[in-house]
Amino acid sequence: MSIYDTVHERSLTEAEGFWADAAADIDWQKSWDQVLDDSNAPFYRWFSGGQLNTCYNALDRHVEGGRADQVALIYDSPVTDSKRSLTFRELRDETALFAGALAANGIGKGDRVIVYMPMVPETLIAILACARIGAVHSVVFGGFAANELATRIDDAKPKAIVSASCGIEPARIVSYKPLLDQAIELASHKPDKCIILQRPQETAELLPGRDIDWDDAISRASPHDCVTVDATDPLYILYTSGTTGEPKGIVRDNGGHAVALHWTMKNIYDVEPGEVYWAASDVGWIVGHSYIVYAPLLHGNTTIIFEGKPVGTPDAGAFWRVVAEHKVACMFTAPTAIRAIKQQDPDGLLVKKYDLSSLRSFFLAGERCDPDTLHWIETKLGVPVIDHWWQTETGWAIASNCLGIERLPIKAGSASRPAPGWDVHVLDNDGHDVAPGTVGSIACRLPLPPGTLPGFWQANERYRQSYLTRYPGFYETGDAGYIDEDGYVFIMSRTDDIINVAGHRLSTGAIEEVLASHADVAECAVFGVADALKGQLPIGLLVLKAGVERDSAAIVADVIQMVRDTIGPVAAFKKAVVVARLPKTRSGKILRGTMRKIADNEAYRAPATIEDPIVLDEIRESMQGIGYAQET
Ligand code: COA
Ligand code: AMP
Please indicate, yes or no, if residue 343 is contained in any of the structural domains: no
On whether both 191 and 221 belong to a single domain, the answer is yes
On whether both 529 and 430 belong to a single domain, the answer is no
Please indicate, yes or no, if residue 221 is contained in any of the structural domains: yes
Please indicate, yes or no, if residue 459 is contained in any of the structural domains: yes
On whether both 570 and 609 belong to a single domain, the answer is yes
Distance CA 325, CA 631 (A): 47
Report the pLDDT value the prediction gives residue 606, as an integer from 0 to 100. 85
Cα–chain center distance at 258: 18
On whether both 459 and 397 belong to a single domain, the answer is yes
The structural domain count of the chain equals: 2
Verify whether ligand 2 is closer than 6 Å to residue 374 (CB atom). Answer: no
Ligand 2: centre distance to CA 339 (Å):
17
Verify whether ligand 2 is closer than 6 Å to residue 415 (CB atom). Answer: yes
Ligand 1: centre distance to CA 613 (Å):
38
Sign of CA dihedral 17, 22, 27, 28: negative
On whether both 266 and 393 belong to a single domain, the answer is yes
Task: Point out the ligand 1 atom lying closest to the alpha carbon of residue 309.
Answer: 39
Report the pLDDT value the prediction gives residue 1, as an integer from 0 to 100. 82
Mean pLDDT in runs of 10 for the chain (632 residues)? 96 98 98 98 98 99 98 98 98 98 98 98 98 98 94 97 97 96 98 98 97 98 98 97 81 98 98 98 97 98 98 98 98 97 97 98 95 96 98 98 98 97 97 97 98 97 96 97 98 92 92 95 95 96 95 97 95 96 90 93 88 91 92 63
On whether both 52 and 105 belong to a single domain, the answer is yes
The CATH number given to whatever domain includes residue 447 is 3.40.50.12780
Report the pLDDT value the prediction gives residue 242, as an integer from 0 to 100. 75
Distance CA 103, CA 99 (A): 6
On whether both 52 and 149 belong to a single domain, the answer is yes
Which DSSP state fits 290?
Answer: I
pTM: 0.95
Please indicate, yes or no, if residue 401 is contained in any of the structural domains: yes
On whether both 456 and 531 belong to a single domain, the answer is no
Please indicate, yes or no, if residue 556 is contained in any of the structural domains: yes
User: Who's near 157: CB < 8 A, 6+ residues apart?
Assistant: 112, 189
Where does ligand 1 bind, in terms of residues with CB under 6 Å? 142-143, 167, 169, 174, 281-282, 285, 287, 309-311, 333-334, 336-337, 340, 365-366, 502-504, 569-570, 572
Helix (H, G, I), strand (E, B) or coil at 323: helix
On whether both 521 and 454 belong to a single domain, the answer is no
Q: Measuring CA to CA, how many Å separate 468 from each of 16, 43, 205, 239, 448?
A: 22, 9, 46, 19, 11
Ligand 2: centre distance to CA 395 (Å):
11
Please indicate, yes or no, if residue 335 is contained in any of the structural domains: no
Tell me the longest C-alpha to C-alpha distance in the chain.
74
Please indicate, yes or no, if residue 496 is contained in any of the structural domains: no
The ligand minimizing its distance to the Cα of 388 is 2
Helix (H) or strand (E) holding 592: helix 592-599
On whether both 474 and 562 belong to a single domain, the answer is no
Confirm if 445 and 473 have CB atoms less than 8 A apart.
yes
Ligand 2: centre distance to CA 143 (Å):
19
Please indicate, yes or no, if residue 542 is contained in any of the structural domains: yes
Nearest Cα to Cα of residue 451 among 53, 79, 171, 47? 47
The ligand minimizing its distance to the Cα of 171 is 1
Report the pLDDT value the prediction gives residue 79, as an integer from 0 to 100. 97
Distance CA 503, CA 505 (A): 6
Report the pLDDT value the prediction gives residue 607, as an integer from 0 to 100. 85
Helices 146-156 and 176-186 cross at an angle (nearest 10°) of: 50
On whether both 519 and 451 belong to a single domain, the answer is no
The CATH number given to whatever domain includes residue 609 is 3.30.300.30
Helix (H, G, I), strand (E, B) or coil at 520: coil
Burial letters for 455-490: b for 16+ Cβ neighbours within 10 Å, e otherwise? bbbebbebbeebbbeebeebbbbbbbbbbeeebbbb
Look up the domain containing 8 and give its range: 3-308+388-481
| Domain end (from 431, 446, 481) | 481
Atom 5 of ligand 2: nearest residue by CA position:
391
Cα Rg for the chain, rounded, in angstroms? 24
Report the pLDDT value the prediction gives residue 245, as an integer from 0 to 100. 67
Atom 7 of ligand 2: nearest residue by CA position:
391
3-state secondary structure 93-154: HHHHHHHHHHHHCCCCCCCEEEEECCCCHHHHHHHHHHHHHCCEEEECCCCCCHHHHHHHHH
On whether both 468 and 515 belong to a single domain, the answer is no
